[in-house]
Amino acid sequence: MSIATWHSTAALAWLQTLLQERFGHLFELQVQPDGNCITMQLSGDTRCVTLALDGATFTRADSDLPCATWPAPADGWVTALPGNLPAPGAVHLSLPLIEATVNGGWHIGYDILGLTYWMLTRQEEVGRTDLDAHGRFPASSSHAWKHDYLERPIVDEWLYVLGQVIARTWPGMALKEHQFSMKVSHDVDAPSRYGFASAKGLLRSMASDVLKRGDIPNALRAPWIRLNTRDALHLSDPFNTFEWIMDLSDQHGLSSAFYFICGRSSNMDADYEPEHPAIRRLMRRIHERGHEIGLHPSYGTYQKPELITHEAGRLRTILAEENIQQTEIGGRMHYLRWEQPTTLRAWADAGMDYDSTLGYADRPGFRCGTCFEYPAFDPVADEALKLRVRPLVVMECSVIDVCYLGLGTGALALAKVAQLKDACKAVQGCFTVLWHNSTAEYKAKKFYESSLDN
C-alpha cells in the first residue's frame, strides 16, 4: 500500500486546519526550498516560526522508530506534564532545541508537525500484519507502548510547547483557550441479559449466573424476564442500566451517547434487532432525556465499507420513523476493530459525523497521541475527509478485565483512570470514556461512578 509524503499540499492544508482549531489563528505553512524545514506565518507578517522537517521518518508505518527525549525545563521551556518530553522519530536532539532567529522569529529543531501527522493519521498502522485475534493493531505493538508514552497525550504536549513559541513570536496575540471536558459513551452490545436470548442462550446465561456468579435470584427470574421483554426492557434485567447511566450523566452535566448494533455479520454480534419494539422504546427514552443515539457497526464490517453504509442507513431509518432528530450521528466499531485507512474512509463514506473507536483494547491511553477531537485525514489517498475523529482514552474493560490490565474495580483501577484524566486536564483536552451498559456488577458500577468525579 503506497503512502503519500506527509508534507504534501493536502496534508499541509489539513495541518493548517488543525493549528487553527488549536490556536484560533490561521497560520500559512510552507516547505522551504531546501526541504529541511517548514515555516509558519501569519498572512502579511514577516515574522515566522520555522520547524525542522523530517520527511522520511514520519511517512513510515513503523513502530521501530527511534525515540529521543527533551529536557524541556532545563532548556528553558515549560511542559504540560512533568518529566522529559518524548520525541518520537528523533535519535538525538541538539540543545538548545528552540532558538531565536532574525526578525523576532524562532526555530524549533524537532519536527512537531511531522509527529502530529504521524500520530493523528495513524500512519504507524497502515498495512500492519502484527494483529491480535480480532484483527486489531494492539497497544503492545505500538511505538508509544515500546517507548513508554502511551499514557501521555504526546501531540498535545508538543503543541503546548509550540503555543509558547507562537506567543513569543507574536506577543500580545490571544491564543484560543480550551477547557477540560468529558465525553461518555456506551456500546450497546447487550441491552438485555435475557430478553432477546434464544432458548439455548437463555439456559447458558442461567447456568452462568449460578455457576460463575452464584446469582440464583437472577437465574430464577430469567425466564420471566424473557417472556416479558416485548414492548420494553424489563426493569429487573441486570443489563437494563440505561436509566441509571443517564441519571449519573445528568448529575455530572454530561450527555451520554449510546451506540446500537444494526447488523449481523458474525456470531460475535448482538442478539437483538434495532427495530424491536423494546429497542425503539429505549431509543425514544434516550432522546427524550436529551442523550445521544449512535451506531455500533457489527463485528464483520471493519473491512467492508458497504456494510457500514447499510447499517448506518438502517439506524437512520429507525430514527426517522421515531421522529428522533440529532445534530450529528457518530459511533464506534464493535470490539474496536479497525483497519487504517479502510475503516476511516468507510465512516466518512457512510456520511457519519464522527468516530470514537481509536483507543486500544489491551491498554487505556492515547492511541492517537491526543485527547482533542480532530478532522480525519487519509494518509494513503492523501486526502482530508469529512469526518471527525474523537479518540477514546479509557474503555472500562481495558482497565478491569484480567485479559487486559486486570486492575479490577478497586483503588488501583481508580488511580489509573485518575492518572489519564489528569493528563487530559493538563492539556485542557477531553477525557473520553467507554462504559458498557452490560457491565452491571455493583462494584463495577461504583467504580464507574467514582471515575466520573473530579
So what's the pLDDT on residue 209? Answer: 79
250 and 398 together in one domain: yes
Same domain, 140 and 186: no
pLDDT at 2: 53
**Pick from 127, 160, 130, 157: nearest CA to 142:** 130
* pLDDT tops 80 at residue 45: yes
What type of residue sits at position 324?
I
Using CB atoms within 10 A of its CB, is residue 373 exposed (0-12), middle (13-18) or buried (19+)? Answer: middle
CB 311 within 8 A of CB 301: yes
pLDDT at 275: 98
Tally of domains in the chain: 2
253 and 360 share one domain: yes
Cα separation of the two ends of the chain: 45
Q: What percent of the chain has pLDDT over 90?
A: 86
Domain boundary among 169, 202, 217: 169
Question: In residues, how long is the chain?
Answer: 454
| Residue 1 clears pLDDT 80, i.e. is over it | no
Phi, psi of 374 (to 5 degrees): -150, 160
Which spans in 189-341 are helix H?
A: 199-211, 216-227, 242-251, 277-288, 305-321
All three cell numbers of 66, joined, read: 527511534
Burial 379-415 (b: 16+ CB within 10 A, else e): bbebbbbebbbbbbbbbbbbbbbeebbebebeeebbe
353 domain residue, yes or no: yes
pLDDT tens readout for residues 324-346: 999 999 999 999 999 999 999 99
**Residue 232 belongs to a domain:** no
- Is 418 part of a structural domain of the chain? yes
pLDDT 10s digits, 269-295:
999 999 999 999 999 999 999 999 999
> What is the per-residue pLDDT for 197?
86
Residue 2 lies in a domain: no
Q: Give the confidence band of 442 by pLDDT, cuts at 50, 70, 90.
A: confident
C-beta separation of 79 from 426 below 8 A: no
Clarify whether residues 150 and 187 are in a common domain: no
Same domain, 304 and 419: yes
Instruction: Report the pLDDT averaged over residues 115-119.
Output: 97
pLDDT over 70, % of the chain: 99
Determine the pLDDT at residue 99: 97
Cα→Cα distances 448→186, 340, 441, Å: 12, 31, 11
Co-location of 160 and 257 in the same domain: no
Question: pLDDT-derived band of residue 5, with 50, 70 and 90 as boundaries?
Answer: confident
Mean pLDDT score of the chain: 95
**Cα torsion angle, 216, 221, 226, 230, sign:** negative
Domain assignment present for residue 205? The answer is no
User: Do residue 262 and residue 137 come from a single domain?
Assistant: no
Mean pLDDT of 419-446: 96
Domain that holds residue 380: 181-191+239-452
Query: Which of 67-71, 208-212, 305-309 comes out lowest in average pLDDT?
Result: 208-212
The dihedrals phi and psi of 129, each to the nearest 5 degrees, come to -120, -5
Which whole number is the average pLDDT over 117-145?
97
Give the model's pLDDT for residue 3.
Answer: 60
Tell me whether residue 432 is in a domain: yes
Give pLDDT, residue 307: 98
Question: Would you say residue 378 lies in a domain?
Answer: yes
278 and 163 together in one domain = no
| Rounded (5°) CA angle 364-371-39 | 130
Contact assessment for residue 347 and residue 312, using Cβ atoms and an 8 Å cutoff: no
Q: Tell me, yes or no, whether 292 and 313 share the same domain.
A: yes
* pLDDT of 163: 98
In a 3-state reduction of DSSP, which class is residue 41? Answer: strand
**pLDDT recorded at residue 178:** 98
Query: Do 335 and 308 share a domain, yes or no?
Result: yes
Name the grid cell of 155: 501531540
Based on the fold, state whether residues 158 and 248 are members of the same structural domain.
Answer: no
| Residue whose C-alpha is closest to residue 308's, from 331, 283, 341 | 331
Considering the domain boundaries, does residue 112 fall inside one? yes
Same domain, 186 and 137: no
Strand partners, 388: 354, 375
Q: What is the pLDDT of residues 158-199, one digit of tens each?
A: 999 999 999 999 998 999 999 999 999 999 999 999 989 888
- Residues 386-411 have a mean pLDDT of 96
pLDDT in tens, 137-161: 999 999 999 999 999 999 999 999 9
Distance between CA 1 and CA 88 in Å, rounded? Answer: 23
